[in-house]
Structure 1
Amino acid sequence: MRHLLTRLLACLALSAAPLVAGAAPHAYALETDTSVVGFAWTLGPDTVKGTMPVKRADMVIDFDSAANTHVAVALDVTGAVAGFPFATQGMKSRKVLWADRFPEITFESTAIRPDDDGAEVDGLLTVRGITRPVTFRAQLYRQKGTQPGDRRRLAIVVTGSLSRAAFGADGWSGMAGDRVDLTILARIRREE
């Protein structure tokens, strides 16, 4: 999960001020080539970092009403890479993510609460067929090279963490830590 959830919508409030009023919800398409989900966990005394591709994303953003904003994302577990081959193999195995049986991780937002720093994004995360409520921190920015007020191309940074055990992905718990930290960078463009 190579930086997909680093701070997805926490910047809705932060970026709303410098961007021109939106007036209505807008659908956005994910730029998959430049979007990345990153994750990290401990393996003994070391930190292992990895990435996971985004398979698909459905995003509607309303800059005037966070209640009308909705995000749904699917990650490709089979394409995940974790630091070194042994870690990748273990992460995809039946004891952890079980990629053969559960090839996707999904997230769907249920509520977005803007604040002075961005937004808190509540949603349902499904890993290994187990769905749990989670909250992530998000920030929204104009992409580099865009003009002030231009909302056609945006970057969302989402961060958060989760417990592997809460989703039944607790293999090798004697060696690998339970906490997984996520950082997501999603670059999106408004669909015209």
Structure 2
Amino acid sequence: MLSRRQTLLGLISLVESPGLATAASASQSPGYVLDLASTEVRFGFQLNGFWQNGTMPILSSHIALNPKRLAATRVSVSLDASAAKTGLIFATQAMTSPEVLNVEKFPTISFATRRILLSPEGRLSNGAEVIGDLTLRGVTRPLSLSVDLFRRPGSAVEDLSRLDFSLRGSLSRAAFGASGYPKLVSDTVRLDIRASLQQVI
């Protein structure tokens, strides 16, 4: 049988554990985690004038989201640049080479929010923005992404157990030193992230 001291220590360890447990406790609401099976990080670039697409897997993420305090939303994510893929083998090899992502030296890409700009209606949609810092090739620069957060189609108004969101934006790869093959590949890279959140207690 557990002693009173053991019970208290167990409760403290739960509150202080990393991830969503701390965020949920602080906001007095359940937290959310990414459903990786329903989440995809996509990017697009022009190769010889034609748009190509690729994907990059997520290594880790932290979501602090309270539907009643959307402006306080915080997101941090780490991507596995070394596992980035395009539909063309030679394009993937060039992208991960020292001239572009240089994944041998910089195997991850990270993003962390600094602030949230809600829409005029106070929503995370209809013009809302996520503003944060993107670190790529060891260079950190600000990045603004448009965001749309919504309930699952067909779900009840009060059902917030599953939420879907999308993030869209673009960046200059040269601004991060990933400027290889400029005559073949455009400087602008489009970002299109589709994700699903699952509520946790």
Task: Give the alignment's TM-score, normalised by structure 2.
Answer: 0.80
Deviations 1:153-191 (CA, angstroms, capped at 9, x unpaired): 111100000000010000001110000000001111112
Which structure shows the higher strand fraction?
A: 1
Determine the structure 1 residue equivalent to 2:90: 86
The two structures, once aligned, show a CA RMSD in angstroms of 1.5
The residue number in structure 1 matching 2:3 is: none
Q: What corresponds to 2:168 in structure 1?
A: 159
Instruction: Give the structure with higher Rg (CA).
Output: 2
> Relative to structure 1, is the Cα distance of residues 68 and 150 closer, same or farther in structure 2, using a 3 angstrom cutoff?
same
1:33 aligns with 2:53: no
CA distance in structure 2 between the aligned counterparts of 1:75 and 1:90, rounded to whole angstroms: 18
Q: Whose RCO is larger (CA < 8 A, sep 6+)?
A: 1
2:180 is the alignment partner of 1:171: yes
When residues 184 and 140 of structure 1 are mapped into structure 2, their CA distance, relative to the original with a 3 A threshold, is same
Q: Percent identity?
A: 38
Counterpart amino acid of residue 148 in structure 2: Q
Question: In the alignment, which of 168, 171, 190 is matched to residue 181 of structure 1?
Answer: 190
Taking a change above 3 Å as real, the CA distance of residues 64 and 148 of structure 1, as seen in their structure-2 partners, is: closer
Matched letter for residue 112 of structure 1: I
The structure whose residues are more often helix, as a share, is 2
Provide the secondary structure at the position in 1 that maps to 2:194.
strand
Normalising by structure 1, we get a TM-score of 0.83
Change (3 A) 1:66 1:181: same
Amino acid at match of 2:113: S
